[in-house]
Chain A
Amino acid sequence: MISQLFAILHYYRTFATWSIAINILLLVFGSLNILVALITKLFLIVLLWYIVNQTEAKQKLTFYKNLGVSDFKLFGIVYCIDAIITVVFLSLINQFI
Chain B
Amino acid sequence: MIFEIDSVELYFKEKTILNGIYLKAETGKTTSLLGRNGSGKSCVLNIAFGTLIAKYSHIRLNNKPLKKPLYQTQLASFLPQYHFTPNQVKVSVLFKLFNVKWKDFIVEFPELTKYKQYKINTLSGGERRLIEIYLILKKNAKIILLDEPFNGISPLYIDKIKLLIEIEKKHKAIILTDHRYQDVIAISDAIYLIKNGCSKLINNLTELEDYNYLHQGSL
Decide whether A and B assemble into one complex: yes
Interface residues of A (CB under 8 A from B): 3, 6-7, 10-11, 14, 59-63, 65-68, 70
Q: Is the interface of B mostly helix, strand, loop or mixed?
A: loop
Q: How far is the CB of B171 from chain A (nearest CB, A)?
A: 18
A63 to B135, CA, bound (A): 11
A52 to B84, CA, bound (A): 14
A66 to B73, CA, bound (A): 10
Q: Smallest CB-CB separation from B99: which chain A residue?
A: A3
Knowing A10-B86, A10-B89, the reply to whether A62 touches B51 (Cβ < 8 A) is: yes
B60-99 near A? 1/0 per residue, CB < 8 Å: 0000000001011110011010101110110001001111
Contact partner, A70, options B69, B82, B88, Cβ 8 Å? B69
CB atoms of A66 and B72 under 8 A apart: no
Q: Smallest CB-CB separation from B73: which chain A residue?
A: A68
Q: Smallest CB-CB separation from B141: which chain A residue?
A: A66
Is residue B136 within 8 Å, beta carbon to beta carbon, of the partner chain? yes
Q: How far is the CB of B142 from chain A (nearest CB, A)?
A: 13
CB atoms of B97 and A59 under 8 A apart: no
Is residue B28 within 8 Å, beta carbon to beta carbon, of the partner chain? no
CB atoms of A65 and B49 under 8 A apart: yes
A95 to B111, CA, bound (A): 56
Q: List 19 A-B contacts (CB under 8 A).
A: A3-B96, A3-B98, A6-B97, A10-B86, A11-B86, A14-B86, A14-B88, A61-B51, A62-B80, A62-B84, A63-B84, A65-B49, A65-B50, A65-B51, A65-B69, A66-B77, A66-B78, A68-B71, A68-B73
Knowing A3-B96, A59-B80, the reply to whether A70 touches B72 (Cβ < 8 A) is: yes
A59 to B49, CA, bound (A): 13
